[in-house]
Structure 1
Amino acid sequence: MLHLPTLRVTGRQVRADVAYTHAVPQARRTGHTVAVGVDWGLNTLLCAGTLRLDSDGRITALGAGGQFRAAGVLAKQHRLRRLSERLHAKADQYVRLTDGRPDEHLTGKHEVLRDEIHRVSERRANLNQALAWAGARWAVDQAIAAAATVIYVEDLRSMEAKGMGATLNTRLSQQVRGKIVDRMRHLAAEAGVAVVTAPARNTSKHCPQCLTPLQHRKAPDQPTVAGWKWAICPNQSCRWQADRDHGAWRRIAARGLTHQAKTVTDRSSGQMMIRSVVDTLEASAVITRTSRGDRSKTGPTRRHTSRPTPRRRRAPSPTRPHGRAGKRPEGHAPTDRRLPRAAHRHQSVNTISTPTTGHRPRGAALGAGFHLHAHATPPRWETIPETKSDSGSLS
């Protein structure tokens, strides 16, 4: 259904913006069997994966999950923030120097600074908008690829920036999580996928398979980098281990599936949310480990016949050509031309670079583009088989 157009004057042209409305499937509050859980991170902005609720009440994981890493974009955002703070400090100094007295020289410098502050603010706003749409589009694509009907997101009220130091508080306050959730609701509504916020209490603290408090260690692929990204379950019968963000999205999705009967719609905003956690339901919000086949030896090894030796070629070998050039052995590279340099072993068409020495977004610090520093796992849930939930692999 078309609506009345809005006229805009652009230069010497008059443009008409015609808005339209189309019907979309109604998102359900309950009755979900496949859900996508989304966890927030600092450098790994989003970490998501899919869980399935079976008819017998068991919850199993589909795949190992994916990540939306935007460390390079956030580094560029922090650089623009520091630049804006310096420009504001200079502008305030010019205001103090003039102190109401007319000074053409300082007034001209102040106007130049105000124009530069406006340009930096627009760059920061455009970067935040692009990051919000890219993150929301990635999360919704994960749900569409997995045929999920709901996306459970960590409640943003638990992400308050306080008590973590000045640097970390500033980084948390500069995140665009609220914009990402708004864009996520907008894109998910078109596909009929519900977006529900769930409480984030102890999502990174407890094991997703047995609810035992986890032990955090250094990441095994980064032994020289201090941190607590890797989580290990101390329960000897479980021994689940993976990145703590992967454990968090499993807990969020499992909590949402078991508490979906508690989903309510806020009257003021119309958003779906789970307000509190029920202890009895939380005890059953565990991911069932997939059964492993018994590979123990029960009998003698079957005897295999040895491969027969291939017969020698009966035809005579070709005669050797005259001259110094001989026949090049098969499988060797030719020596008359230089081979192209091989690609980096971490890069291919559908994957991204994952260095083992830590992410150093040099390009972002130098002002490179957006897409060079926003790395996302492609949506491939429908093409991969169901994997063990205790594999602990990273995408």
Structure 2
Amino acid sequence: MPTSVFELEGVPRVARVLLLSACDGQQATIERCVDEPGRVVLRLQLPVRPDPRSYRDWSWVACRINLPPTVPAGAVVHLPTLRFHQGRVCADLAYSHAVPKTRRAGHMVALGVDWGLNTLLSAGAVRLHEDGQITTLGSGARFQAAGVLAKQHRLRRQSEKLHTKTDRHQRLTGGRAQQDLKPNVPLERKQALIRDEIHHVSERRSHLNDALARSAARWAVDQAVAARATVIYLEDLRSMEARGMGRTMNTRLSQTVRGQIAEHMRHLAAETGIAVVTVPARGTSKHCPNCLTPLRHRKAADRPTTPGWKWALCPGCGWQGDRDQGAWRRIAARGLTHQAKTVVDRTTATMVIRVTVDHLEARAAITPTTPKAGRDRSKTGPTRHKPTRPTPRRRRTPSPTRPQGPAGKRPEGHAHTDRPRLPRAAHRHQGVTTISTPTTGRHWPRGAALGAGFHLHAHATPPRWETIPDTTSDTGSRG
């Protein structure tokens, strides 16, 4: 019989790491180099023999570690975790640095973020002026991840099919076990394989959602930093009910990673002192951002009579644009006008605006900015004629050397550059046989005078030098 619990358990399999954070100052210390700010010195007290018995068997070892560029210059570096990777010792450093405190109110520049289905995020910055007017800073941007979302939907459909097969196999194996008490071994094996495949697909979906959430959150925070915004306003989709959307649309909405995006966004924004506040989503896509008039939604901009939901038209002020582009304007304007109503949720410790006030909502309108006066491009004269037939491209090979003595027609190639214009045919060493001589009748071709040039009835004499190879295979017309 075993004498202790340790004999019953096997040797634990753990990673070969060394947690120096559990050591005190007598065993490990770390500090920045005075002469090199980008490096730190790690000092460890290591044994000099396999069986240390006294303090003489220990010695201090200094290791210099290069800091990555992501570590700020004024950050406090903590003791790392040492691990082995491909025959080398790597150090996982932890550091802490002071960040500005986020504010509930007093914001002048805000970033509004709207959730979308195909377009995951639509964001833009607005500014609150001293007179109460709100203007946009640019036309906004979009975070499109169509390929990742399509892969996510394919994995979702594959998971649904695998779960359907599992339910079918469970019904078959359960019914047979109740009838003749003989298990169906092939079905049970298939069921085990399907369970493993479901676990594999679930892990792929989890990794894909996490990568997508981190990328979208980083993009939104970078937009806020670029616009010098101090707050990011998100719409709280929990305040809306997905009624009338259909089973397929509700499933797609429930499978999105909006919760993870908001969580990563709060974490990244806290590092730069940017507050993330959720606002009510009611009416953000329904009303015009400029005059708060109910919008008319159509299929597209070039199809103003086809019913749809993507393109928005305002019957009041005439504004039109993408539905998501108008939504982030409404979200940012609502957040700036209601920033005095920002509270901290006790359960989640997040900033939120719970309700909207009518007199504040009436001022949450975007003031259109007048476009800058540019160069006058109005037409003042007739349009220059453009030939319908493009100019042929010249040969890349220059013309051969002019032969000595009389010869026939000049071969193709570049025209002479040493003369202002081409000479007449009479000066090209052409003889009498070059042109057709008119006989009887009134037929007198244009330019048929001796030495006047070539025309449809011209007959060139054969050249008196070696035949030139054809190199015009790559010639064409310019588009």
**Mapped pair 1:229 → 2:304:** no
**Mapped pair 1:31 → 2:106:** yes
TM-score, normalization by structure 1: 0.71
Give the equivalent residue in structure 2 for 1:327.
414
CA-to-aligned-CA distance 1:46-84 (integer Å, 9 cap, x gap) = 111110011111110111111112233222211111111
CA-to-aligned-CA distance 1:96-117 (integer Å, 9 cap, x gap) = 2222543332222111111111
Give the equivalent residue in structure 2 for 1:153.
234
Cα separation, partners in 2 of 1:183 and 1:160, compared to 1, 3 Å: farther
Give the equivalent residue in structure 2 for 1:277.
356
Q: How does 1:1-395 map to 2 (within 5 A)?
A: 1=76, 19-99=94-174, 100=177, 101-221=182-302, 227-235=308-316, 238-291=317-370, 321-322=400-401, 324-327=411-414
Find the residue that maps to 2:300 and give its secondary structure. Answer: coil
CA–CA distance in 1 between the matches of 2:208 and 2:169? 29
CA–CA distance in 1 between the matches of 2:241 and 2:257? 13
Judge conservation of contact 1:35–1:51 (CA < 8 Å) in 2: yes
Judge conservation of contact 1:156–1:178 (CA < 8 Å) in 2: no
Over the matched positions of the two proteins, sequence identity in percent amounts to 64
Q: Offset of 1:149 from its aligned partner?
A: 0.6
CA–CA distance in 1 between the matches of 2:415 and 2:340? 72
Find the residue that maps to 1:154 and give its secondary structure. Answer: strand
Judge conservation of contact 2:240–2:281 (CA < 8 Å) in 1: no
Q: Offset of 1:161 from its aligned partner?
A: 3.6
Q: Offset of 1:250 from its aligned partner?
A: 0.4
Judge conservation of contact 1:161–1:173 (CA < 8 Å) in 2: no
In terms of Rg, which structure is larger?
Answer: 2
Cα separation, partners in 2 of 1:320 and 1:89, compared to 1, 3 Å: closer
Judge conservation of contact 1:3–1:20 (CA < 8 Å) in 2: yes
CA–CA distance in 2 between the matches of 1:170 and 1:75? 14
Structure 1, unmatched stretches of 5+, are 304-318, 343-395
CA–CA distance in 2 between the matches of 1:118 and 1:79? 16
CA–CA distance in 1 between the matches of 2:272 and 2:291? 34
CA–CA distance in 2 between the matches of 1:17 and 1:207? 51
Greater RCO, 1 or 2 (C-alpha within 8 Å, sep 6+): 1
Judge conservation of contact 1:231–1:244 (CA < 8 Å) in 2: yes
Cα separation, partners in 2 of 1:279 and 1:11, compared to 1, 3 Å: same
CA–CA distance in 2 between the matches of 1:268 and 1:141? 28
CA–CA distance in 2 between the matches of 1:74 and 1:201? 26
Judge conservation of contact 1:143–1:151 (CA < 8 Å) in 2: yes
Amino acid at match of 1:207: C
CA–CA distance in 1 between the matches of 2:314 and 2:416? 55
Cα separation, partners in 2 of 1:206 and 1:104, compared to 1, 3 Å: same
CA–CA distance in 2 between the matches of 1:142 and 1:224? 35
CA–CA distance in 2 between the matches of 1:336 and 1:21? 69
CA-to-aligned-CA distance 1:310-339 (integer Å, 9 cap, x gap) = xxxxxxxxx975263521799xxx966599
CA–CA distance in 2 between the matches of 1:68 and 1:221? 24
Judge conservation of contact 2:297–2:307 (CA < 8 Å) in 1: no
Q: Offset of 1:291 from its aligned partner?
A: 3.3
Structure 2, unmatched stretches of 5+, are 1-75, 381-397, 403-410, 418-470
Find the residue that maps to 2:210 and give its secondary structure. Answer: helix
Cα separation, partners in 2 of 1:13 and 1:292, compared to 1, 3 Å: closer
Cα separation, partners in 2 of 1:126 and 1:223, compared to 1, 3 Å: farther
